[in-house]
Amino acid sequence: MDFEKAPDVQKLIDDVLSVLHFPHIDKNRVIAFRSHGSVARARARIWSMPRIWQLALSIKAHYVIEVISHYFDNQTVEEQTKTIIHELMHIPKSFSGALVPHKGSGGRHQVHHSLVSKLYREYTRGKNGDQGPLSYIKKLVLAKHAGQKGKR
């Protein structure tokens, strides 16, 4: 399996964080990677840096969002954005290096589809943003469309 930094995904992460209200997330400590050749069935996954590693290396918590190329790259821009929102929801308010599970105590869902959809709608409306949240999505759609035109 090969990994590479994913600047396009990093821009999407930064855009989502600039629009949605995730004040606990330090965008400088969330890094995007794309993997090729993974046999995982997930579209993306988030990796954390547990406290023991933070102490051993004398660094603060960081998170890596890995997008699985053969799934993520074939998604629509809307689905890619929802995938990123989903992964960001796994980062706890403490930004400690831990991860929020899909199901919390008592079997309650902490990270779930309906909340992702709600946050996506908020993102597209720019409810908490002031720099035109659709501008980045439009650029992605236009770039994707231009790339498909060139392949014909």
Task: Provide the residue ranges of all domains of the chain, joining segments of one domain with +.
Answer: 2-100+109-151
Rounded average pLDDT over 115-122? 92
Q: What integer pLDDT is reported at residue 101 of this predicted model?
A: 85
Is residue 151 within 8 A of residue 144, CB to CB? The reply is no
Q: What is the pTM of this model?
A: 0.80
Which amino acid belongs to residue 20? L
Quote the mean pLDDT of the chain. Answer: 86
Which residues fall within 8 angstroms of residue 92, CB to CB, at 6 or more apart? 24, 98, 99, 100
Q: ∠ at Cα 54 (50, 59), nearest 5°?
A: 140
